[in-house]
């Protein structure tokens, strides 16, 4: 390398390098935020708030101030700062031009050069310019220009090398901070350590952390592998076939995330206070369930905190335990979502069916946690006939109202208002008077009205088909097409459209939950008589919400909703009762009645014809139907008649707003959502079958 070449760092060049990298990332990021990304970060609020609303300008400003756009503005501010730094610190490098320095034309004579030099020397002499700190530098530059034009040697050097002093050392600027090229020997070890640390050790540490985390956590919900192992295989706390709602909480709290929660000795007094609080709501824990207290301390703490939260007594929790409650509530939605994946894991060989009871119970647990409703309220009450009544479930529906407690619920019951449906069916003035007389304040009544305005009603229409075949064989992959529309009273109140393409979800009204909760809807196709979950799906019903908001009058009073059965007996899914009970469809056939393949009765033929007509009509209207299509796929069971139930359950709402169906439509609603009974008589085909299995027809 040439000895006259000098390498040195350049902070302005380093700033240009950083600016280039930043702009390379920022331009596409800004395009994404302005065109599509920011829109999809918005969630639609399901409720219409009473009182004065903010101006459209303030709403627009609030909507535009998303996290992504704030980050984008900060990065553009960094770009502006780098540009200013480069502009102020970059020195302009100009070639040496003696004629320009002496303000002469290139064809000036030597006499003109001398005359001009004497003139400029008087003007630029440092003694003449004491206030100019660059006067000496300017005068030296003028002298070099004069020598280059008058001295023979200097003129030759200028012609050859472009400078009167001959060849100059070349300065090469590197786009790195200048202190990196400091010749001081003390900085060399520091720079070596920095390069090794940043270039080698840091990437290795990041890779090690990533591999450790990826081996420790699994799935989109980032749940620990040990948690999944406990839920799947533990003999006591794992998912069981007949597991109901009251046992789901026992399974949830044994998550490894909660087991690893510290229990320092400083929390001993607070835990004793929490224990007294829990036993106040659950006195049976004093003597009957000693196993509750024999578990690991962190599990007991998590269980107690969740119980107290769902009892809406979080204000009585000691301050030292509130950070733990916050962490538990932050992790619980993702843990419950993964617990649902465990609950719907196929348990039956060949057909790959799961268990119905634990799947429905997990969704019910999501509802209780979101709306802060005690699990004990939803326990089925056995009757003299051995069946369970609906008193507890009706109480759970009304207990999810804001500011509701047991005393207010008792006073409402004396007014013959025992369920959420009865309360929502009352006129607004009459409802307000009933709530006010039961102990509500006027401010709290407004919260109740807000809650009722967001309460969803799901309108579902379902049918079955097999791709490429007019009939169904045992073992065929059957598709259940469910057309869904979702309406709320807030749709009529706000008259606002829901753009499904610009939203990422719908935010449920859950005033007791400390974090925003995005609605998810679970579609569970079940054979209740055999406790089988044949197919399931989890959807965000944005398109259904858009259809309902665009035409709320179309679905008012049951119009536009068709179910594939004539009657319904809703079923509960807690414990073994659900596995043994069945819905009655078509007035006669029980769910556990299987056809042997002989001729069916007239009611079965009518139900089959109704289902076929429903499929035919859905196919004709598919091109113009604005409702959301949800498809469930499952393997066709053995030959027989099956009365299936499609449960459409929200993870945020207990129950659904009841409405009076029109004479042509029939809608069934379970206690936790919408239950559509589907009469599916399946009989062997008399035609020869090209496959070894039996041909089935869905009629």
User: Quick one: how far is CA 481 from the chain centroid?
Assistant: 25
Mean pLDDT of 570-596: 32
Fold of 98-163: Helix Hairpins (1.10.287)
- Give the residue-averaged pLDDT of 434-463: 89
Q: Which two tokens stand for residue 59?
A: 């709403």
Most confident of 33-37, 135-139, 177-181, 384-388: 135-139
pLDDT at 632: 92
Q: Tens digit of pLDDT for each residue in 648-673?
A: 999 999 874 433 333 333 333 333 45
Q: 355 has which bridge partners?
A: 532
Task: Return the top range by mean pLDDT from 2-6, 142-146, 278-282, 679-683.
Answer: 278-282
Contact call for residues 400 and 377 (beta carbons, < 8 A): no
Q: Which of the pair, 221 or 568, is modelled with greater confidence? A: 221
- Output helix, strand, coil percentages for the chain, rounded to the nearest 5: 50, 15, 35
Reply yes or no on whether the pLDDT at 569 is more than 80.
no
pLDDT value at 77 more than 60: yes
Q: Is 186 helix (H, G, I), strand (E, B) or coil?
A: coil
Q: What's the pLDDT score for residue 522?
A: 94
Tokens of 381: 């009450």
Kind plus residue range of the DSSP H or E element containing 172: strand 170-174
Mean pLDDT, residues 177-185 taken together? 63
More confident residue, 188 or 462: 462
Q: State residue 266's pLDDT score.
A: 93
Average confidence score pLDDT of the chain: 75
Is the pLDDT at 335 greater than 80? The verdict is yes
Residues in Cβ contact with 448 at an 8 Å cutoff, skipping those fewer than 6 apart: 401, 402, 403, 435, 440
SS3 at position 683:
strand
Span of 308-317, 393-402, 552-561, 661-670 with lowest mean pLDDT: 661-670
Residue with the larger pLDDT of the pair 382 and 203: 203
Residue 179 is predicted with a pLDDT of 62
Average pLDDT over residues 521-535: 90
Average pLDDT over residues 173-197: 68
pLDDT digits (tens, 9 = 90+) for 95-125: 667 778 888 887 778 788 888 888 888 888 8
pLDDT band at 582 (very low <50, low <70, confident <90, very high): very low
pLDDT tops 60 at residue 572: no
Total length of the chain: 699
pLDDT (0 to 100) of residue 625? 78
Most confident residue range from 90-94, 498-502, 645-649: 645-649
Q: Name the more confident of 566 and 256.
A: 256
Structure tokens of 643? 């009365």
C-alpha 242/C-alpha 256 separation (Å) is: 24
- Selection from 566, 640, 562, 638 nearest residue 603 by Cα: 566
Instruction: Please report which helix (H) or strand (E) contains residue 247, including its range.
Output: helix 245-252
Average pLDDT over residues 361-384: 81
pLDDT of 44 > 80? The answer is no
């Amino acid at each position: 390398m040439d000895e006259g070449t000098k390498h040195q760092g350049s902070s302005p060049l380093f700033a240009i390098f950083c600016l280039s990298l930043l702009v390379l990332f920022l331009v596409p990021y800004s395009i994404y935020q302005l065109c599509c990304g920011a829109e999809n970060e918005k969630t639609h609020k399901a409720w219409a708030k009473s009182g004065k609303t903010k101006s459209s300008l303030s709403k627009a400003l609030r909507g535009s101030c998303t996290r992504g756009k704030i980050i984008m503005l900060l990065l553009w501010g960094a770009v502006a700062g780098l540009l200013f730094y480069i502009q102020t610190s970059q020195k302009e490098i100009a070639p040496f031009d003696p004629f320009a320095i002496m303000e002469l034309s290139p064809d000036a004579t030597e006499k003109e050069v001398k005359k001009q030099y004497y003139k400029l020397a008087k003007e630029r002499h440092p003694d003449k310019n004491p206030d100019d700190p660059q006067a000496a530098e300017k005068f030296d530059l003028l002298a070099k220009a004069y020598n280059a034009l008058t001295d023979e040697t200097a003129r030759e050097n200028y012609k050859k090398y472009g400078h009167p002093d001959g060849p100059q050392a070349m300065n090469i600027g590197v786009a790195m901070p200048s202190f990196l090229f400091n010749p001081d020997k003390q900085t060399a070890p520091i720079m070596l350590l920095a390069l090794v640390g940043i270039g080698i050790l840091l990437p290795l540490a990041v890779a090690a952390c990533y591999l450790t985390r990826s081996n420790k956590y699994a799935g989109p919900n980032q749940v620990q592998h040990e948690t999944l192992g406990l839920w799947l295989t533990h003999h006591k706390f794992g998912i069981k076939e007949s597991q109901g709602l009251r046992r789901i909480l026992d399974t949830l709290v044994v998550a490894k995330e909660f087991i690893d929660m510290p229990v320092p000795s400083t929390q001993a007094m607070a835990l004793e206070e929490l224990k007294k609080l829990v036993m106040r709501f659950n006195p049976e824990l004093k003597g009957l369930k000693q196993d509750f207290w024999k578990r690991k301390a962190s599990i007991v703490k998590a269980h107690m905190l969740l119980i107290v939260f769902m009892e809406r007594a979080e204000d009585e929790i000691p301050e030292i335990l509130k950070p733990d409650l916050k962490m538990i509530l932050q992790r619980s939605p993702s843990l419950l979502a993964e617990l649902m994946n465990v609950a719907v894991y196929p348990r039956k060989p060949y057909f790959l069916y799961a268990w119905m009871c634990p799947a429905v119970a997990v969704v019910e647990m999501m509802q209780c946690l979101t709306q802060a409703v005690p699990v004990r309220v939803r326990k089925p009450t056995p009757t003299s006939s051995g069946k369970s009544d609906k008193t507890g479930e009706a109480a759970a529906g009304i207990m999810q109202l804001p500011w509701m407690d047991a005393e207010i619920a008792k006073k409402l019951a004396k007014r013959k208002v025992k369920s959420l449906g009865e309360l929502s069916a009352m006129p607004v003035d009459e409802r307000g008077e009933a709530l006010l007389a039961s102990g509500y304040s006027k401010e709290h009544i407004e919260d109740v009205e807000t809650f009722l305005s967001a309460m969803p009603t799901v309108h579902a229409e379902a049918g079955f088909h097999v791709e490429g075949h007019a009939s169904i064989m045992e073992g065929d992959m059957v598709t259940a097409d469910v057309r869904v529309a979702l309406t709320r009273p807030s749709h009529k109140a706000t008259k606002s459209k829901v753009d499904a393409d610009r939203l990422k979800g719908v935010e449920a009204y859950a005033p007791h939950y400390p974090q925003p909760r995005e609605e998810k809807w679970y579609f569970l196709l079940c054979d209740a008589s055999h406790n089988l979950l044949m197919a399931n799906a989890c959807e965000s019903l944005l398109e259904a919400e858009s259809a309902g908001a665009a035409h709320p009058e179309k679905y008012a009073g049951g119009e536009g909703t068709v179910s594939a059965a004539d009657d319904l007996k809703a079923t509960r899914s807690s414990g073994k009762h659900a596995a043994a009970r069945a819905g009655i469809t078509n007035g006669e056939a029980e769910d556990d009645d299987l056809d042997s393949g002989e001729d069916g009765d007239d009611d079965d033929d009518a139900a089959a014809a109704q289902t076929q007509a429903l499929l035919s009509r859905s196919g004709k209207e598919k091109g113009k139907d604005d409702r959301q299509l949800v498809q469930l796929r499952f393997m066709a069971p053995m030959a027989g008649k099956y009365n299936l139930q499609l449960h459409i359950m929200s993870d945020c709402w207990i129950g659904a707003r009841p409405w009076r169906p029109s004479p042509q439509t029939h809608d069934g609603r379970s206690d936790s959502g919408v239950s559509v009974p589907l009469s599916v008589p399946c009989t062997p085909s008399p035609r020869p079958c090209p496959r070894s299995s039996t041909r089935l027809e869905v009629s």
